[in-house]
Structure 1
Amino acid sequence: MLDMTRLLAALAGAVLAAGAAQAAPVTTLLANYDTTFSTLCNGVACEQAVAEARNGDNGRTAAQAEWNIGPNTSAPTATVNISGLTGGGLWNGTALPFRLAYDGSDLRFGIDRGSGFQDVTYTVSLAATQTLFIRAVARSGGADTTIAGLALSGNALPTLAGDSGGDYLRVSNFTWSSAWNLTGTIAMTGGPGAGAVPSVQFKLTNLAVPPPVPEPAGIALLGLGLAALGVARRGSAASARAG
């Protein structure tokens, strides 16, 4: 009986430890999420920071190509303007390395066009951040946008190919307030101008992810663990009374 009590107690401890351990980031593809995201976020209310690379109009002129970072995409804090390069297109389909990195106070976004990363930096606290939304957009005119080879502090993330539907990749279950880095490549095809505005966005928000519905097997395992704790406690109490 004592051996069984110890076994059940060990099982319960393993269940509780597994629940407390830091897991790998969870990614969820959210199709046609533009309208939903706007409804949830209501402008900049939920956004701690947004990094964006865009070929086209960002409140300036449709001939500009740029990447920027700040509290929102309509008024970025820092901007690198690369208009006039690469023959009117941003990268003409070439996959170029990028990095989005946080050191605990500064968020850095950079793209390497062959001569090293050219970064923009925004100082921000990400203590309230719960989710990162990655968006790859390719609007009309045959434009295409792909974010590939993604890795978040060594954890591989899915490739995201943009279309006119405004799909998002949500990344959660991760501690954003400590140092981390997101790397990969960005490729865009399609010149600037009306109807052709390929872009990528990285939105760090305080939006929480709805808790998943527990599966029956998980519920049963948790129940077994709790029962084991009860048995172990009763056994300890009985031994104390006998002593």
Structure 2
Amino acid sequence: MNKLRIGVEKLTSCSGCINEIIYALLADPKLTESLEIAYFPELLDKKSLEGQFDIFFVEGSIVNKDQIETVEDIRERSRLVIAVGTCSTYGGIQSLRDKKGVEEVKKHVYPKPELIDVEGDVYSLQEVIKTDLAIPGCPVDGNLLLRVLRKIAIGSKDISITESLCAECKRKGLECVLVKKKIPCLGPITAAGCGAICPSFGRGCIGCFGLRKDISSKEIENFANRLEEAGIMKKSDVLSLVMRFSYAKEKGYFEKIVEERGR
């Protein structure tokens, strides 16, 4: 049986997802034996792409032309391209700088901004190339990645899930932090899949898994209104929290809301 040829590329991110990818690749010795890790600059000396790949994991958002060219090359070489983590899937926190001038941001962050090569916008992987699967999370769940690898290894197909995080809380028998404790929580509009980590510890969901696939801008607006009416959180703060991780990929939603509000 031929081994699955694996590639991993890190773009712009905090690198938290890299640790989870390493875990997923090495956690199951039997699965690891069926993999050939052919490209992974954080682990291997090889720094250039060579040959074809069965699975390519891309972690981080895209901020310059070199990264655009890199992911386009990856797409041509790979049977499956998987966006790993919220930065790759939705743009991540750094995509919030789309709302400000890039030169202004560089001056605040770097001592020598003239040496930094970044574009004006931040892109999710799916905005630049076609992806076969996207697994969000900040960081991504290594066990979830491991399950995906196992499914691919046996030729199984992905199942699209559109339910909200609230469904996971109910299955785990968790008390609703939003209703019972009035803690700000984005669970009703956030995609399921993380295992309800934050509510499990009595904290509200911060939306790192991104918006539900079936959500509309009107539903986001209504949710923000309800939280403000209940005295839990200001509407403007709700929308800012929603934008934290997903601005790059979902900016159309947010721009439409702002336009409808006359801002």
Give the shorter-chain TM-score range: under 0.3
Q: TM-score, normalised by structure 1?
A: 0.22
Greater fraction of residues in strand: 1
Greater fraction of residues in helix: 2
Q: TM-score, normalised by structure 2?
A: 0.21
Specify the structure having the higher radius of gyration (Cα): 1
Larger RCO (CA under 8 A, 6+ residues apart):
1
